[in-house]
Amino acid sequence: MKKKKLTHIGEKGDARMVDVGGKQDTDRFAVARARVLITEKLFTQLQENALGKGDAFSAARIAGIQAAKRTSDLIPLCHTLPLTSVSVDVKLDENPPAVEITAEARTHYKTGVEMEALMAVSVAALTIYDMAKAVDRGMIIESVKLMEKGGGQGGHWRRKDAD
């Protein structure tokens, strides 16, 4: 099996931005997911939209979208992408009590949008923490992962444990 070469490492081992100038623009998408484990008390308050700071789910959705749009500002070797859409879904999961966040990013460009989808769910999860920390400082942000991606030379990929 041929060993894959890391594209962000130059000939001398230095970090570099990949040159995508010669690649074709194609439709690309990525879906990422994160979970925030919470207490029963917080679950109830989120379910009733009863947090003192306001609607945590709306704030998380907006924060996730904004984060996807700013990914290249925070991840040093990411390209700035012309995103065609970003959606963030936030919902409660009863057992164990958790907030599940799913983001999908899309573009028509030369490189993929995995980092944008991952950034969206990460910042949305942090926003849930910020909105609800007065109720539950013990929240755990876990399972930030790419679920699926498509487009470009790599084609389609889907996590084996994806629902």
Q: How confident is the model at residue 8 (pLDDT cuts 50, 70, 90)?
A: low
Total tally of structural domains belonging to the chain: 1
pLDDT of amino acid 16? 64
CA distances to 63, 67, 94 from 151, in Å: 26, 22, 34
Does a cis peptide bond (omega within 30 degrees of 0) precede residue 96? yes
- Full domain range(s) for residue 144: 26-152
Asked whether residue 113 is domain-assigned, the answer is yes
Mean of pLDDT over the chain: 91
Quote the pTM value.
Answer: 0.89
DSSP structure string for 95-159: TTTEEEEEEEEEEEESS--HHHHHHHHHHHHHHHHHHHTTT-TT-EEEEEEEEEEE-STT--EE-
CATH of the domain at 108: 3.30.70.640
Asked whether residue 160 is domain-assigned, the answer is no
Asked whether residue 14 is domain-assigned, the answer is no
Residues tagged active-site: 130
